[in-house]
Amino acid sequence: MRISVVGTGHVGLTTAVCLASIGHEVLGVDEDAGKIGLISEGKVPFHEPGLQEMLRQEFALGRMRVSTDVSDAARQRDVIFICVGTPTGQGGETDLTQVERVTRTIANALDGYSVITEKSTVPVGTGQAIQRTMREAASPNAEFDVASNPEFLQEGRAIADTLQPSRIVVGTSSERAEQSLREVYRPIVEQGNATFVATDIATAEMIKHASNALLATRISFMNQVAELCERANADVEVVAHAMGLDPRIGPHFLKAGIGYGGACFPKDVQAFRITAEQHGVDMSLLSEVEKVNTGRKQRFVDKVRAALGSLEDKRIAVWGLSFKPDTDDIRGSPAVEIARRLSTSGAFVTAYDPVAMDTARALLPNVDMAADPLEAAKDANCVAICTEWPEFAEVDLNALREVMARPVIVDGRNALDPRAAYNAGFLYISTGRPMVMGVVPGDDA
């Protein structure tokens, strides 16, 4: 099929490349000439494992090309995916300016039949607004249907989530549009275990926001459980494991830490709550979810302070800056906020992250960056672990103790094994695990 994807951010570029890889002819469009310049050279402008190789392959096979002209995206395409940014507006609601602008341009240039498919995360009702704009601005030769096809990919595993998804949700108001989108995803559905959920547009939009809000709720809930575990000498890791064995609960998104971040959860939880308010529904449950999440960062800073007596003039190594491993994305990253708070509280902070330091530098002018975890920890009074990059668990703890001024680790992500840290002589304070110097759960010695 002939497909265009407008917006080549994480969702758009991954969608474009993956749809090309299953045999479609794909045009990726972005108004940002710098971004399109990079992509046309075969470079992915963000860190996503495997995507660059796939992009180059699809260029070589001639199944994908890129352009900066949004009108191009509207010419003779079976399906047009809108994947532009939907940032937070001034009152916390979703700012749909980019969606509206792109829709208008597509409407003006549309020639023949196309399914205008909203993929970026939007509040319920956006499909209707797109439909209105299309009707207002469409050229006389234009024929169209509007659809919602929310994206569920996680950064860091975007290709697998796109090509082997658990579900594909498609909301349409016509049989013709549904058939077109079934055809787009046919190779994925035939080869994998994805359930194709065909529904109306409002329901599709709701599924996306409700999914992210529930996942965020689980995280905040477990973060509160972790806090209780710390007071009651219980182990949140074992609690989460055993809870997850119940098939009604399941094992995922039960990991306690320093709070959820990223470009999606913080924004989507807020937008969903506000959408509910606009419809007269009290979703104050989500206010609590947000409150717990916001509080995690200061709580972690307070833990570091308590471990050191004070933060004034202390040297602190912050390990990890991205909002989670396997991405260089620092949007809404609790790690960045923690590094900033530590440094504004009087500490000298040196950070290390395998891929996110370049992007973080501008946001953290008073934080030094190091070439590796040990260099960051040199002469430090404390290592603060803020992102659970696998390499942190592989650091030689004896070598770490040797370079530090004091053997203290505060682990916001439970990235290390408490026994190993204890055996290496550390004061190791983790999250929701009953650990003080010399007392390891289950250790009889």
CA dist., res. 40 & res. 405, Å (int): 48
CA dist., res. 346 & res. 57, Å (int): 49
Any idea what the Cα angle at residue 332 is, between residues 309 and 9, rounded to 5°?
150
Q: Which residues make beta-bridge pairs with 318?
A: 351, 384
Shortest distance in whole angstroms from residue 422 CB to ligand UGA:
24
Shortest distance in whole angstroms from residue 23 CB to ligand UGA:
24
- Catalytic residue chosen out of the listed positions 18, 264, 382, 386: 264
Instruction: Write the CB contacts of 271 (distance below 8 Å, at least 6 apart in sequence).
Output: 88, 92, 93, 94, 121, 123, 209
Q: Two tokens at 53?
A: 């190789």
Nearer to ligand UGA, 145 or 268 (CB): 268
In 3D, which of 287, 299, 124 has the Cα closest to residue 217?
287
Any idea what the Cα angle at residue 307 is, between residues 301 and 310, rounded to 5°?
70
Nearer to ligand UGA, 145 or 205 (CB): 205
Nearer to ligand UGA, 315 or 324 (CB): 324
Shortest distance in whole angstroms from residue 68 CB to ligand UGA:
24
Nearer to ligand UGA, 21 or 387 (CB): 387
Shortest distance in whole angstroms from residue 331 CB to ligand UGA:
9
Nearer to ligand UGA, 254 or 410 (CB): 254
CA dist., res. 287 & res. 270, Å (int): 8
Shortest distance in whole angstroms from residue 139 CB to ligand UGA:
32
Nearer to ligand UGA, 189 or 210 (CB): 210
Q: Look up 386 and say whether it is catalytic.
A: no
CA dist., res. 357 & res. 368, Å (int): 10
- Phi, psi (rounded to 5 degrees) for 94: -75, 130
Instruction: Write the CB contacts of 397 (distance below 8 Å, at least 6 apart in sequence).
Output: 416, 420, 421, 423, 424, 426
CA distances from residue 273 to 86, 92, 277, 289, 364 in whole angstroms, order as listed: 16, 9, 6, 11, 31
- Phi, psi (rounded to 5 degrees) for 163: -90, -25
In 3D, which of 383, 388, 386, 389 has the Cα closest to residue 424?
383
Nearer to ligand UGA, 51 or 404 (CB): 51
Instruction: Write the CB contacts of 185 (distance below 8 Å, at least 6 apart in sequence).
Output: 168, 170, 194, 196
Which residues here bind ligand UGA, judged by CB under 6 A? 121, 151-155, 212, 215, 219, 253-255, 257, 260-262, 264-265, 268, 323-324
R_g of the chain, CA atoms, integer Å: 24
Shortest distance in whole angstroms from residue 424 CB to ligand UGA:
26
Shortest distance in whole angstroms from residue 125 CB to ligand UGA:
18
- What is the CB-side half-sphere exposure of residue 209 using CA atoms within 13 A? 27
Shortest distance in whole angstroms from residue 43 CB to ligand UGA:
21
Tell me the residue type at 234.
A
Nearer to ligand UGA, 46 or 253 (CB): 253
Q: 144 near 313, Cβ under 8 Å?
A: no
Strand order in the sheet with 427-429: 368-369, 348-352, 315-319, 382-385, 408-411, 427-429
Q: Which residues are catalytic?
A: 264
